[in-house]
A and B are shown apart, each in its own frame.
Chain A
């Protein structure tokens, strides 16, 4: 075990825990808000992290054994704690300045055109720039531009918005067969691309949409059907032979507009889902509804407060109409506390 102090809160964590994981644990246990932001790290994907540099922190004291500070900011997602380590994140003005620099770099080739982007309201970069960026950029040159392309009949790639976090690459590498996509070219010419004329079509490929932190990879069955804050997220499941079948339905009235995997409080997918669940099951009757999803009150999605009762009645009526099926909303679902205040 190692004792580590992050922004003045001390916690004991198993050896081999990253600074980021320790900070997240402090937040979970103490209700603080000190976990560094992440754009490329994804706890569910091996070897992710280390690229974007948004999660950098200052190590003020290396360890009990070697108390020297680390000379440079370190990526908290890929740096492990040591016993006696003292870390500064939100409490270091220099570090916040360095992070603002990273945000400025990330925004060079990511337009802040949130009003027309499908990811608005769910975009980690939008949150990052709001919380850690500056009000303006000093970059005055032409930005790179691409036409959006369809990679397969279900996914659209718009490279204008890609921040090259490698998450989709790791996803394809680790959870799909016959990987056909990756990064081509170098530096700021680098692009996410499929292997010549190939589409991403295997069973789990849709997960790249969920892991993409920005609006670069979008669901062609949902694109521009609605702003996300006009929809109601509902947890649901089905008996699926390919995946856990545990999903989130994004409903508008009685229609299922989109199906995604469920995400945890860090915005990461809990269990990856298959393409059948995601793209082909768009009827309420395909699903057993569990109840409204927990949505953090920080999220813009919580703006569209929906009452459990209304939702319940709406869905119930719809189901009855369709096939007279009784809807099991379950105990938990009836608990209004499921919507965080």
Chain B
């Protein structure tokens, strides 16, 4: 199930320049949209395509676009979320670095569809070199009449700006991103009102992920129906997966949705199996915030069917046996990985990144990190496992934005699926620093040098 529609030309030398990009189908969707389609026709094609947001939540993009309020005389905005801060996720960076014009083309076509005359790409501040790449591409586009006044003689005007992000994970949350773009502290806003009604500077705004916006290009080029034929069921199209961890071939892969997880991990076309011939222990399938799954559950659903790389299959069974496709940050862990140590790293991250507006997230994330530190220090008791479970449950569902959940879910899943490992560290505190205990836990006779 290998199908490339976003990364078809990423290996072509010079594809980052307008000239080479145009030689490879570049800006065809823009010409088609401006010359043959009304804005609503573009929205219609996106709806038909079944495209779902690639930023994490997987909300249908066409539906999101159709919610956009259109009050008379009020400007609207399209904002591209290129903050890409989810640990384990690095696909947007790859796309922007290699083929910046694909994002630009998607931005111009999408802005036309939404009737936006000023659009923004909010790029993670740490991706400074990418900001430069995008700025160069924008300069080229202006010079070629693809941006600015009267684009390609169509009468449509658009200005496009790149804005460096605030250097905080929370600035990727769409309302915090808008606050930051307005020059304020990146605190999430309470919803409602939703950005579609009152977004940037109180105006109707659509916020979409880089990959989502790039996917609009093939959708307009080939039609929504053609796009909907790729993938399976409600998981249409392709998805960029950032694969990392203990695999032979880490990297960014474009997969057709519906690819079996097992094939993704073991096939040479993708991850190429687990490093050093080790066994797979667990996978975080969609970026650090989604629940971790042990091997048996990541390869097969609770019903025993092969698990597929789709929104539905990965979440099959809820969090008891499933997880989420999320942003596509696929982290594989081999048999020598300490789940607790790994969880500690995640917990430290969420503690550090909480914006601090809601009491459960502000105080709870730090508390979880400190309890996990006890396991690392060999000072934890059995009670700490239950306490950790209780603290995460008191954060989940009680916060303004989903960062609370992003911090709580990994903790809940680790305890749910790997409680025995927490208990092992209570019984044998030193074992956390020595991988041999896994063999003892799994009753495997193995000599480790």
Contact = CB atoms under 8 A, between A and B. Distances in A.
A185 B356 CA distance: 9
Interface string B168-189: 1010000000000000010000
Interface in A48-90: 50-54, 56, 71-73, 78
A52 B351 CA distance: 17
B370 A187 contact: no
A54 B360 CA distance: 10
Given A139-B367, A186-B170, A50 B359 contact: no
Interface in B352-368: 352-367
B400 interface: yes
B229 interface: no
Most buried by A among B363, B367, B400: B363
Contacts of B351: 187-188
B329 to A, nearest CB: 22
B398 A98 contact: yes
Nearest to B399: A53
A105 interface: yes
Interface in B335-350: none
B394 interface: yes
B360 A105 contact: yes
B367 A56 contact: no
Contacts of B397: 71-73
Contacts of B363: 105-106, 108-109, 188
B358 A186 contact: no
A53 B394 CA distance: 11
B12 interface: no
Contacts of B400: 50-51
Nearest to A166: B357
B245 to A, nearest CB: 27
A54 B398 CA distance: 10
Interface in A121-142: 138-139, 141
A72 B360 CA distance: 14
B144 interface: no
Given A53-B360, A102-B360, A188 B398 contact: no
B353 A51 contact: no
A267 interface: no
Interface secondary structure of B, over-half rule: helix
Given A72-B397, A102-B359, A50 B190 contact: yes
Contacts of B20: none
B249 to A, nearest CB: 36
Nearest to B357: A51
Given A53-B360, A188-B362, A98 B394 contact: yes
Nearest to A144: B366
A190 interface: yes
Contacts of A163: 359
B387 interface: yes
A134 to B, nearest CB: 12
A164 interface: yes
Contact of A105 (B168, B353, B355, B359): B359
Interface residues of B, number: 28
Contacts of A240: none
Contacts of A182: 185
A164 B356 CA distance: 8
A152 interface: no
Interface in A151-210: 163-164, 166, 182-183, 185-190
Contacts of A53: 358-360, 398-399
Contacts of B168: 186
A183 B185 contact: yes
A188 B387 contact: no
A188 B185 contact: no
A183 B398 contact: no
A104 B351 CA distance: 17
Given A78-B190, A109-B363, A186 B356 contact: yes
A53 B190 CA distance: 12
B185 A187 contact: no
Most buried by B among A53, A72, A104, A185: A53
Contact of A186 (B354, B359, B360): B354
Contacts of B355: 186-187, 190
Contact of B359 (A73, A106, A183): A106
Contact of A51 (B170, B359, B367, B387): B359
B355 to A, nearest CB: 6
A51 B354 CA distance: 13
A187 B366 contact: yes
A185 B186 CA distance: 11
Nearest to B168: A186
A186 B362 CA distance: 8
Contact of A187 (B365, B387, B398, B399): B365
Contact of A52 (B190, B352, B359, B365): B359
Contacts of A189: 356
Nearest to A191: B356
B398 A73 contact: yes
Interface in B45-87: none
Nearest to B360: A105
B353 A188 contact: no
Most buried by A among B170, B354, B362: B362
B426 to A, nearest CB: 16
A72 B398 contact: yes
A105 B360 CA distance: 6
A182 B185 CA distance: 10
B387 A183 contact: no
Nearest to A72: B397
B362 A187 contact: yes
Contacts of B354: 186-188
A166 B352 CA distance: 20
Contacts of A71: 397
A186 B173 CA distance: 15
Interface of A: 50-54, 56, 71-73, 78, 98, 101-102, 104-106, 108-109, 138-139, 141, 163-164, 166, 182-183, 185-190
Given A52-B359, A187-B355, A188-B356, 19 more contacts: A50-B400, A53-B360, A53-B399, A54-B359, A72-B397, A101-B360, A102-B398, A105-B360, A106-B359, A109-B363, A139-B367, A141-B367, A186-B168, A186-B170, A186-B354, A186-B356, A187-B356, A188-B365, A188-B366
Closest 10 CB pairs of A and B: A101-B394, A187-B354, A72-B397, A190-B356, A105-B363, A50-B190, A187-B356, A108-B363, A188-B366, A105-B359
15 contacts: A53-B359, A53-B360, A53-B399, A102-B398, A104-B394, A109-B363, A139-B367, A164-B357, A183-B185, A186-B170, A186-B353, A187-B351, A187-B352, A188-B354, A188-B366
